[in-house]
Amino acid sequence: MSARQVCAFLACASVAWATPLYMVTDLGDLPGGTNWSQATSLNEYGQVVGYSKVDGGNDHAFLWTPNVPNGTTGTMIDLGDLPGGQNSSQAMGINNLGQITGVSSSQDGRRAFVWTPQVPNGTVGTMTALGTLPGTSPTSSGAAINDAGQVVGSSYCGAYPDQHYRPFLAHASGGELTNLGTLSDIHDSHAYAINSSGQIVGLCGSMATLWMPNTPNGFEGQLIPLGDLPGGSESSTAVAINDRGQVAGSGHTSGGWRGAVWTPHEPNGTTGSWVSIGDLPGGEAHSNALDINNLGQVVGVSKAADGDRAVFWSITEGLLDLNTLLDASGEGWILTKAFAINDRGQIVGYGMFDPDGAGPLPAVGRGFLLTPVPEPSTIGFLAVGLILLGIRRRR
């Protein structure tokens, strides 16, 4: 075969391999529990957080750290819970330094926490409580943390019977929680995500909201309703935001509930428009967008003919069932929800894993990590180089 024929063959192979593939890593579970875990977030290093069942059936927050950055093997550690707690915690967000936020039982009830490693991306650290907003039923939970150490979440606020959840902004180093306000005093409000400049998204009543700081990473700002999808019914939610100010969320459309992306008219702006990500064919008309990375790639969940399926969406590829994009490591897996995606394209979520297929072992609920396999173009160029080198040597 001539060098020209080799190049032509590999060019055709690259076209055939254009669909991305992912390797699945079973993140495992914490010892002593019921063989169950769920992954909720990850950072650019490839560290994953979530929660797993332990003795007594309670959830414990975990941190999974790869053996090498963005690797596919690693170790899970138990983050425990706050002092005086009832042996219960969940990790919901992690920044690129390895700081983690979530919710834990404590001697005073359920509290938002920050777990800070002794060294960046380390596996030894300390969990501390963040406190609550003023009220008669103090409860709080952390949802996300950015690289500046800003934490967002929700806290009960107010005196009975006029108490409601309100979104808060805090700092990992401690101090009072800042109440981000609400669009309606009679409805609960929540903060779900924060980007590198301190923009925050969440939900007030039934409306997706954006909290815009007056200065980058400031603690004063304004709450802005994001509206709803075209043909909607004034019902939407925002759960993730990237560093350009693009928002992932969901809302009602004329065809049902749909995952969607809100894009500002200019980067990090306060006006923009929604685009639906659609849904998978054959199931109920329902989907949710749960995270968005800085490339505008979205992950989430959609109803299919046989149940929930984890999905990937981009403006160029549309909505894809992640179960159709797995390499041989996906044998025995059904991926049901994708909760987070980093800029390297790694994805975490929850699925069912049946280790022996139709054998006697039952399927187990597991947190998973998906890692893109090398791009076909990279493989093709490498193969071309090796083959041409061999041809040249034979001459």
Share of the chain above pLDDT 90, in %: 78
Asked which of 310, 325, 340 is the last residue of a domain, the reply is 325
Q: Edge-to-edge strand order for the sheet containing 189-194? A: 189-194, 200-204, 207-213, 221-225
In this prediction, residue 160 carries a pLDDT of: 66
Q: For residues 251 and 273, is the Cβ–Cβ distance under 8 A? A: no
With 90 as the cut, is the pLDDT of residue 375 above it?
Answer: no
* Per-residue pLDDT at 1 exceeds 80: no
Average pLDDT over the chain, rounded to whole? Answer: 89
- The confidence score (pLDDT) of residue 372 equals 97
Nearest to 128 by CA among 155, 101, 92: 101
Among 266, 292, 325, identify where a domain stops: 325
* pLDDT score at 8: 36
pLDDT > 90? residue 341: yes
What are the tokens at 231?
């043909």
Kindly state the percentage of the chain with pLDDT values over 70.
Answer: 89
Spatial strand order in the sheet of 150-157? 140-145, 150-157, 164-171, 178-179
Stretch 41-60: mean pLDDT: 96
Distances from the Cα of 248 to the Cα of 219, 264, 290, angstroms: 23, 12, 6
Tell me the pLDDT tens digit for each residue of 347-371: 999 999 998 887 888 999 999 999 9
Q: Does residue 91 fall inside a structural domain?
A: no
Q: Domain span at residue 7?
A: 1-20+375-395
DSSP string, 26-77: E----TTS-S-EEEEEE-TT--EEEEEE-GGG-EEEEEEEESSTT-S-EEEE
Pairwise CA distance, residues 373 & 121, whole Å: 24
Among left, alpha and beta (phi > 0; psi -120 to 50; other), residue 56 is: left
pLDDT for the residue 381? 40
Q: Give yes or no for residue 56 having a pLDDT over 70.
A: yes
Q: Is the pLDDT of residue 236 over 50?
A: yes
Query: Using an 8 Å Cβ cutoff, are 337 and 349 in contact?
Result: yes
Shared domain check, 319 and 395? no
Residue 308 within any structural domain of the chain: yes
Question: Coil, helix or strand for 8?
Answer: helix
75 in Cβ contact with 28 (< 8 Å): no
Joined together, the tokens standing for residue 196 give: 């590198």
pLDDT in the model for residue 138: 84
Position with higher pLDDT, 7 vs 377? 377
For the four alpha carbons of 89, 93, 98 and 101, in that order, the dihedral sign comes to negative
Of the listed ranges 17-21, 84-88, 209-213, 232-236, the one predicted with least confidence:
17-21
75 found inside a domain: no
Q: Tens digits of per-residue pLDDT, 103-117?
A: 999 998 999 999 999
Residue 263 has pLDDT above 90, yes or no: yes
The string of pLDDT tens digits covering residues 291-337 is 999 999 999 999 999 999 999 999 999 999 999 999 999 999 999 99
Average pLDDT on 128-148 reads 93
Residue 392 belongs to a domain: yes
112 domain-assigned:
no
Q: Quick: pLDDT tens for 72-95.
A: 999 999 999 999 999 999 999 999
pLDDT band for position 258 (50/70/90)?
very high
Residue 241 lies in a domain: yes
CA dihedral in degrees (375, 377, 378, 380; nearest 10)? 120
* 309 and 231 in a common domain: yes
Note whether 308 and 381 are same-domain residues.
no
387 versus 228: the higher-pLDDT residue is: 228
Q: What is the pLDDT of residue 392?
A: 35
* Tokens read off for 334: 């059904």
- Confidence bin at 390 (pLDDT 50/70/90): very low
Decide if 390 is inside a domain: yes
Measured in Å, how far apart are the chain's first and last C-alpha atoms? 13
- Specify the pLDDT at position 172: 97
With vertex at residue 232, the alpha carbon angle to CA 340 and CA 236, rounded to the nearest 5 degrees, is: 35
Task: Provide the pLDDT confidence category of residue 185 given band limits of 50, 70 and 90.
Answer: confident
**Which two structure tokens, joined as six digits, stand for 69?**
């950055």
Same domain, 387 and 306: no
Cβ 335 vs Cβ 322: under 8 Å: yes
If one counts the domains in the chain, the total is 2
Residue 253 lies in a domain: yes
Q: Which residue has the higher pLDDT, 240 or 20?
A: 240
